[in-house]
Amino acid sequence: MRTFLRRLRKTNKIAYFSFWILVLLYLSAVFADLISPYPYDLQHRDYPLCPPTFLHFFDKEGKFHIRPFVYNMKLVNPSLNTYEIDYSKIYHIKFFVKGPKRKILGIIPSERYLFGVEDGGKIFLFGTDMHGRDIFSRILYGARISLSIGIVGVSISFLLGLLIGGISGYFGGKIDTFLMRVVEIIMMFPSFYLMLALRAVFPTNLSSVQVYLLIVVILSLIGWASLARIIRGMVLSLKEEEYILAAKSLGLSTPRIIIRHLIPNTFSYTITALTLSIPGYIIGESALSLLGLGIQEPYPSWGNMLSVTIGNLRILTTAPWMLIPGFFIFLTIISFNFLGDALRDILDPRKW
Amino acid sequence: MGLLEIKNLRVCFDTIEGELEVLRGINLNIKKGEIVGLVGESGCGKTLTALSIIRLLPKTAFIKSGEIYLEGTELVKLSKREMENIRGKKIGMIFQEPSSYLNPLYTAGNQVEEAIKEDLPKIEKRKRVFEIFEEVGLNRSDYFKYPHQLSGGMQQRVMISMALINRPVLLLADEPTTALDVTTEAQIINLLRKLIEKYMLSVLFITHDISLAKSFADRIAVMYAGQIVEIGDSKEIFEDPLHPYTKGLVMCLPERYKRGERIRTIGGNVADFKNLPNGCAFHPRCPLKRKICEIEDPEEKRIGNRIVRCHEY
Amino acid sequence: MKRYILRRLIHLVPLLFGMTFISFIIIHIAPGDPLTKLKMNPEVSPETIELMKKTFGLDKPVIVQYFYWLKNILTFNLGESFTYHVPVSSLIKQRLVNTISLSIFSIFLTWIISIPLGVYAGLRDKRWQEKLLSFIAYIGISLPSFFIAMLLVFFAAKTMVLPIGGTRSLFSENLSIFARFMDYMRHLLLPGLSLTLAGIGSLYRLTKNNFLESFNSPYVVTAYAKGLPEHKILFKHVLRNAINPLITIFGYELSGILSGAALVEVITNWPGMGRLILEAVLSQDIYLVMASLLISGILLILGNLFADIMIAFADPRVRLR
């Protein structure tokens, strides 16, 4: 792992950077309970669609505060959704503030939050949504869904694709033709339509856990087809490679051949293909949630946080910070892309 | 004045570490109607020499100094447009792997036809193509075939047609038969002989196969590490090689040995341009090495009708 | 050539059957009977339910139902939509036209912009122009199409420059045919631009790479050695060969375009097939969902067939096996 990181850093600075961004994002997702200043469903009734609050170091008189602070916002015009900064009171940042009870990582009950502001103050780093919920906190919790679906979905697809592609490529003949026909048929449907159709099969009001599993399953079913084809291709070409012939002539048994020879050689290509296909899953989940068919309220996912902006021009124009989840989706995708491209260059077996 | 005269040609590559000299003072003359074989190990600069003449060096390479005279005209100083006119018209070139060097999307006839430099009506051009096809042993129907539909030998004949359709005076052949099987190779060589004689072509024939060079070329130039170390009449060079490298090459041929004898090879590795030794580039591998060989790069010396670059002489 | 097309068409038949089969199967994976939602809806009369039962043969065994489904598809009898109360086939027709025009528009724009840019970048490879363009393209590839659409909608709403949603402005029936066409085009701009921007990045990259590969090919050296003028070499040899793989990609692009178009349609409120299937899903109109799925699949197959034929035209190695 260390050599890998060193190599990555030398060959492609941007990819190295991206790797750490992804680590940061995933860690934030895991420790969302700890980091976020508010629970994801806490509604601040007086602050619907509040703009982001900034951290200041200098107050109106020019005095420097070591501890950054915020000003509160006052809702001036509810119908036009305009806010005004209330300079009258200063609320400093505090660490380990007290707040509503919740369980960190689902196990440890705690009332303490990593950071917050003094009593009465509100810190909305990314503003609030129409129910007055802190977007920053929701982004952190939403990361759990959006980021994990990529990994889980890819893993399932990979196993499926490996199994079917491997069988198809290795045994050839009628099995191969049949399986590849099935793959072809699945790939003949545009992914969006297939995704929706599969979703339609189930009722719209499932519990969040069920929806999560459902989405993962759907995305995997769509995704395995192309992976299976790739794997089959690799198996086919490797089958003909001379060293397999050599191994066979030495009398090695079939499973041995598969494990010892085929898999390590497909490894580099597979890892790259997987990394580069994760963004597809993230987009898939975001799209479903965006359309209201994915993760349901109140639990946030980056996709469903964006769904309010569709068709609702008022919200979109007066509260553009609602688009921030989209930026995070973009950030995640571009990081995976950079990383995947760099992986492809590094893991090229010819360069070893 | 010969047809082609190369004087002290130096060609460099632009690398991250600076300029890397790969052709280090090439002197070569070809008379009218003469076939000169250029032999040497892979990477010694044979192809680059040809590319320098026709001025198609890779993007990162450039001619540092030297002159190339073709029929009296100095080529290095010519403008892009002027060089464009020379290519195809005065100089023709054929390459090693005809399947890669032919465009897969156009018919053979189309590619030969577009090489015609004279401004003629289409019918005339087509006629010319048919004529030259007949000369090289292709059918009329091959005009309409695509490269992938032709065999290796036929593809090479197409290349030859392309190169010779404007009756150039100089033909550069870069290992034209290396990718072909032995029978086809023989056919192509015979074809080339026929055409060379018919059109009084001067040829620079690049190969790594010395026996082929001996039977095909009038004179042979031996190259090592970007320099020509020996030039002379092919038969004479074979019977009496002067330069130690030439000696080694000639001794590598299995036909010189009786059954059971060990073939003598040249020790050491091919010269690495990035780490050339001081003095003579061949000295690490040379059995006749002396003190001076490590210090001074030998000059070209004339011995009879041979030119050698070695401190022995 | 004709044999090639024939072979492709024959290959399609089992594929089409497979598709109808799969879309049929999906209906029956659903828990409960496909008409459950319908039955629960107070607005729907028992007669309608009876009609649906008969049309789809729901009281018969599954295999027979499949043939009912097949027959219905072939006779374009897809029932009536619950929300709009018009025959599904006419709905689909309308929406299909809109999706197709959106797709063609954006494909056209994407290609017109990406290919010259890709070639230009190939010519200026490793220089600052190429690096800048490639960087922008990379961002384009990583931005999800729906997000691009959202951003465009945001700008359009703020600046009031383009109409958002729908294909027509109010009172457009009173305008001349030309004016109505222009009105349609104006409405097409927002979704069209979103799709285009989403697609430019990858096509640019492909073009650039293919161009460079072609440019560095041996047959280009041959062209130079023949003394051909530079512009001829570029067009006849380099470009022509670079475009070929793009034509192959074009076929697979189609799948992406149809999916991307669907999402964009929803976000920009463009009434196309994508919007249709979404509405069908939300109203649990299972048969409409399946019909939309099938149609979208057929569209894709036709697109691929078209691309295959084009590739055969363009590449002699394909058509003269």
So what's the pLDDT on residue A15?
84
Structure tokens belonging to residue B250: 């000639």
Does C154 fall in a domain?
yes
Q: Which chain B residues are Cβ-neighbours of C225 within 8 angstroms? A: 54, 56, 87-88, 92-93, 95, 163
Beta pairing class for B219-224 and B35-39: parallel
Q: How far is CA B91 from each of CA B26, B83, B165, B190, B201, rounded to the nearest angstrom?
A: 19, 10, 11, 21, 10
Q: How many CB pairs under 8 A join A and C?
A: 138
Q: Looking at the structure, do residues A285 and A227 belong to the same domain, yes or no?
A: yes
Residue C189 within a domain: yes
Residue B75 is part of a domain; what is its CATH number? 3.40.50.300
**Per-residue confidence (pLDDT) for residue C8, from 0 to 100:** 80
Same domain, residue pair A181 and A93? no
Give the pLDDT of residue C179.
78
Q: Are the CB atoms for B104 and B148 separated by under 8 Å?
A: yes
- In angstroms, how far is CA A35 from the centroid of its own chain? 18
Provide the pLDDT for residue C30. 65
- Would residue C16 count as lying in a domain? no
Note the pLDDT tens digit of each residue in A174-186: 888 888 888 888 8
Q: Do C274 and A193 touch (CB under 8 A)?
A: yes
Confidence of residue B155 (pLDDT cuts 50, 70, 90): very high
Q: Is residue B254 predicted with pLDDT exceeding 50?
A: yes
Q: Report yes or no: A183 and A272 within 8 Å, Cβ to Cβ.
A: no
Same domain, A265 and A205: yes
Contacts of A192 in chain C (CB under 8 A): 258-260, 262-263, 274
Structural domain of C142: 95-271
Structure tokens at B92: 């023709």
Within-domain flag for A288:
yes
Asked if residue B309 has pLDDT above 60, the reply is yes
Per-residue pLDDT for C85 more than 50?
Answer: yes
- Mean pLDDT of all residues belonging to chain C: 81
Read off the pLDDT of each residue in A309-325 and give the average, rounded to a whole number: 84
> What's the structural domain count of chain A?
2
Query: How many other C-beta atoms are found inside a 10 Å radius of the C-beta of residue C250?
Result: 20
Residue type, C73: I
Q: Give me the mean pLDDT over the B101-119 stretch.
A: 91
Most confident of A56-60, B280-284, C1-5: B280-284
Rounded Cα distance between B184 and B179, Å, is 10
Region B283-311 average pLDDT: 83
Residues A110 and A194 in one domain: no
Within a domain: A4 = no
Pick the range with the lowest mean pLDDT from A110-119, A241-250, B80-89, B193-202.
A241-250
pLDDT at residue number C63: 76
Residue B77 lies in a domain: yes
C198 is a domain residue: yes
Distance to chain C for B85, nearest Cα, Å: 6
CB contacts of A190 in chain C (<8 Å) are: 255, 258-259, 262, 296-297, 299-300
The answer on pLDDT for A350 being more than 60 is no
pLDDT of A6: 76
What integer pLDDT is reported at residue B93 of this predicted model?
Answer: 93
Over residues A256-279, the pLDDT tens digits come to 655 566 666 667 777 888 888 888
Q: Is the pLDDT of residue B132 over 90?
A: yes
Which two three-digit tokens encode residue C11?
Answer: 């290959």
Quickly state the pLDDT bin for A352 (edges 50, 70, 90): very low
What pLDDT score was predicted for residue B1? Answer: 60
Residue C247 reports pLDDT greater than 50: yes
Q: Do chains C and A touch (3 or more CB pairs under 8 A)?
A: yes
Confidence of residue B161 (pLDDT cuts 50, 70, 90): very high
For residues A111 and A157, membership in a common domain is answered with no
- The set of residues, in sequence order, having a beta carbon less than 8 Å from that of B211 and lying 6+ positions away, is B253, B255
Q: Do C146 and A286 touch (CB under 8 A)?
A: yes
C182 within a domain of the structure (yes/no): yes
Q: Characterize B269-307 residue by residue with b for buried, 16 or more Cβ atoms within 10 angstroms of its Cβ, and e for exposed.
A: eebebeebeebbbbbebbeebeeebeeebbeeeeeeebb
- Based on the domain organization, do A212 and A305 belong to the same domain? yes
Task: Name residue, tokens 């399947």.
Answer: B99
Give the pLDDT score at B103: 92
* Contact between A276 and A337 (Cβ < 8 Å): yes
Q: Which amino acid would we find at residue B55?
A: R
Does A147 lie in the same domain as A277?
A: yes
What are the CA-CA distances from residue C312 to residues B130, C2, C320 (Å)?
28, 10, 9
Q: Is A263 part of any domain?
A: yes
- Asked if B266 and B210 touch (Cβ cutoff 8 Å), the reply is no
Question: Measured between beta carbons, which residues in chain C are less than 8 angstroms from residue A287?
Answer: 144, 146, 263
Domain that holds residue B280: 4-90+168-309
pLDDT score of C76 more than 80: no
Is A29 among the domain residues?
no
A107 and A159 fall within a common domain: no
- Position A266 in a domain: yes
- Domain presence at residue B116: no
Confidence of residue B219 (pLDDT cuts 50, 70, 90): very high
Same domain, A108 and A49: yes
Tell me: do A58 and A194 sit in the same domain. no
CATH of the domain at C109: 1.10.3720.10
Whether C309 is covered by a domain: the verdict is no
Which domain-ending residue is among A92, A111, A133?
A133
Q: What is the mean pLDDT of chain B?
A: 87
pTM of the model: 0.82
Which subunits count as partners of chain C given 3+ CB pairs below 8 Å?
A, B
Distance CA C213, CA C243 (A): 11
Within a domain: A37: no
| pLDDT tens per residue, range B186-208 | 999 999 999 999 998 999 999 98
Domain that holds residue A55: 44-133
pLDDT tens by residue, C153-163: 888 888 877 77
* pLDDT of amino acid B147: 92
What is the four-CA torsion angle of C35, C40, C41, C45, rounded to 10 degrees? Answer: 70
- Please tell me the predicted confidence (pLDDT) of residue C321: 60
Identify the CA nearest to A325 among candidates A83, A143, A85, A114: A143
- Residue whose structure tokens are 């319908």: C38
Q: What is the pLDDT, as a whole number, of residue A260?
A: 61
- Residue A216 scores a pLDDT above 70: yes
The confidence score (pLDDT) of residue A181 equals 82
Give a yes or no: residue B128 inside a domain.
no
- Cβ of residue C164 closer than 8 Å to a chain A Cβ: yes
- How many domains are there within chain C? 1
Do A111 and A149 share a domain, yes or no? no
Q: β-strands B73-74, B227-233: how paired?
A: unpaired
Q: What is the pLDDT of residue B168?
A: 92
Contacts of C237 in chain B (CB under 8 A): 103
Read off the DSSP letter of residue B218: S
Mean pLDDT, rounded, for C16-43: 71
Residue B290 CA neighbour count, 13 Å, CB half: 9
Q: Count structural domains, chain B.
A: 1
Q: How far apart are CA B61 and CA B51, in angstroms?
A: 10
**pLDDT tens, residue by residue, C168-204:** 666 666 667 777 788 888 888 888 999 999 889 989 9
Residue of C nearest to B163 (CA): C226
Which one of B79, B103, B111, B174 makes the best mutation probe of the C interface by having the most chain C beta carbons within 10 Å?
Answer: B103
State mean pLDDT over A308-336: 87
Q: Do C144 and A333 touch (CB under 8 A)?
A: yes
In the structure encoding, which two tokens stand for residue C283, read together?
């109203």
Distance from CA of C238 to the nearest CA of B (A): 10
Q: Which of C281, C290, C296 sits opposite A293 (nearest CB)?
A: C281
A182 plus A113 within the same structural domain: no
Contact with chain A for residue C157, Cβ under 8 A: yes
Is residue B154 situated within a structural domain?
no
Lowest model confidence (mean pLDDT) among A194-203, B197-206, B255-264, C269-278: B255-264
Query: Would you say residue B214 lies in a domain?
Result: yes
